[in-house]
Amino acid sequence: MPYYITYGEFQQQLKDYYLRNKSKLQFTEMTEYLYRKKRLHETCIFPKTEDFFEDVTDEAFDGIIDNFILTLTPMESPAGIKVQETDIFPASRDVFVIRHPRYTRRQNHVHNYFEINYVSSGQCTFTFEKVTRILHEGELCIIAPLSDHDITINDDSTVFTIMIRKSTFDTTFFSLLSRRDLLSYFFRTILQGNSHANYLLFFTSSNRKLNRIVRNLICESNDTDTYSNNCSINWINLFFSTLLRNYSQTIQFYNYQIGADFSLMLQYIQHNYQTLSLASLAKLFHYSEPHLCTLIKQNTGYHFTELIKRLRMADAIDYLENTDLKISVIAEKIGYNSADHFSRVFRSTYQMSPIKYRKENACI
């Protein structure tokens, strides 16, 4: 049987318990505690949110969230460190967003869905595998499924936790990466692969537009009408579009096997592929050529030469569809020595000449 309590009441109970006992509880432990103390409600009225919160202060918006309703199912024992989508997501929901509770006890856990933590104000402690770091205002991390992690907040900081079903993430997020650039290959391999834990970290400088999107996302996610799930997915699309448009250059990621400078290498390849050779890239980043080949293949899904060709073809498509540049000029811009060479590669890739492709697909 489900029970109900407002965000504000639940948060106040967590804080009071900590101040009274000098110890903290996990979310599930507090749920069970409140159930035993008969402080949960058997019925509730879910608030309707219709505003877009453009000019609401952080304090005022925190008060709005305090009136949201948490639906809780008491358990005789904590859920443990393995969490499933069915333990978290309401029925028929692809996206579920909460304001992360403050004053909870640390407990690393894994789950089979994607989690995004966005520090709207203040800071939080982020533990991943055996490494702990502080995430500051404006920082955002995307955590891949099956990654051992935890988030803890001890003060009045605000962290929004966005949870997305893996199937929804695969179709919604990666549909935005249709341009087939290096970021797309990298994201697909890092976040969709189940071979190792990983996360992506962005530095957004507390972007106001991103804040507004997250505000509307959590409100839509906590609504209960028949449109709210689709609206939440649309807000997620806007969220990722804004993130990739403005902050892809800030990306960092975790992987013991790769090393911290690999994301910088990916950015270097993206911006210099026209004249880049494997030998020059290996020398610049102090890798042997065989090892570099292995890293690139493992983390983009392509060998170096195939990756460079795909990057060239992606930009060629962009030029053909959106400019009236001559074929020889396009060939030069993407790194080919002659228009003939470019045309041969393009024809073998798309089974038509660049000129025919432009005639059929030009946007100008």
Q: Kindly report the CATH number assigned to the domain that includes residue 27.
A: 2.60.120.280
Residue 174: predicted pLDDT: 56
Higher pLDDT, 56 or 136: 136
Residue type, position 12, single letter: Q
Residue 128 has pLDDT above 80, yes or no: yes
Last residue of a domain, one of 219, 253, 287: 253
Residue 65 has pLDDT above 70, yes or no: yes
Per-residue DSSP letter, 56: -
Regarding whether 289 and 243 lie in a shared domain, the answer is no
% pLDDT > 90, the chain:
47
Higher pLDDT, 298 or 344: 344
Give the closest residue to 102 by CA, choosing from 152, 59, 29, 28.
Answer: 152
Tell me what the pLDDT averaged over the chain comes to.
85
The band of 186, judged by pLDDT with boundaries at 50, 70 and 90, is: low
Regarding whether 289 and 194 lie in a shared domain, the answer is no
Structural tokens at position 147? 């990654």
Regarding whether 189 and 78 lie in a shared domain, the answer is yes
The residue-averaged pLDDT of 334-362 equals 94
The band of 246, judged by pLDDT with boundaries at 50, 70 and 90, is: confident
% pLDDT > 70, the chain:
84
Terminal-residue alpha carbon distance, the chain: 59
Give the closest residue to 10 by CA, choosing from 44, 45, 34, 29.
Answer: 34
Other C-beta atoms within 10 Å of 68: how many?
20
Residue 356 lies in a domain: yes
- Residue 247 contacts residue 183 (beta carbons within 8 Å): no
The band of 289, judged by pLDDT with boundaries at 50, 70 and 90, is: very high
pTM of the predicted model as reported, rounded to 2 decimal places:
0.74
The residue-averaged pLDDT of 148-163 equals 92
* Full residue range of the structural domain in which residue 51 is found: 3-253
Q: What is the DSSP string of 219-279?
A: HHHT--STTHHHHHHHHHHHHHHHHHHHHGGG-EE--TTT-TTHHHHHHHHHHHTTT--HH
Residue 55: predicted pLDDT: 75
Residue 293 has pLDDT above 60, yes or no: yes
Give the closest residue to 101 by CA, choosing from 20, 35, 27, 202.
Answer: 27
Model confidence over 12-37: pLDDT tens digits? 999 999 999 999 998 889 999 999 99
The band of 240, judged by pLDDT with boundaries at 50, 70 and 90, is: confident
Residue 262 lies in a domain: no
The residue-averaged pLDDT of 230-249 equals 83
Residue 352 lies in a domain: yes
Dihedral of CA atoms 270, 274, 280, 281 in degrees, nearest 10, equals 10
The band of 86, judged by pLDDT with boundaries at 50, 70 and 90, is: confident
Higher pLDDT, 186 or 268: 268
Regarding whether 200 and 137 lie in a shared domain, the answer is yes
Residue 266 lies in a domain: no
Higher pLDDT, 184 or 123: 123
CATH code where residue 276 lies: 1.10.10.60
Query: Among 113-122, 172-181, 293-302, where is mean pLDDT lowest?
Result: 172-181
**Alpha carbon distance 354, 342 (integer Å):** 9
Residue 194 has pLDDT above 60, yes or no: no
Residue 90 lies in a domain: yes
Residue 76 lies in a domain: yes
Number of folded domains in the chain?
2
Residue 112 lies in a domain: yes
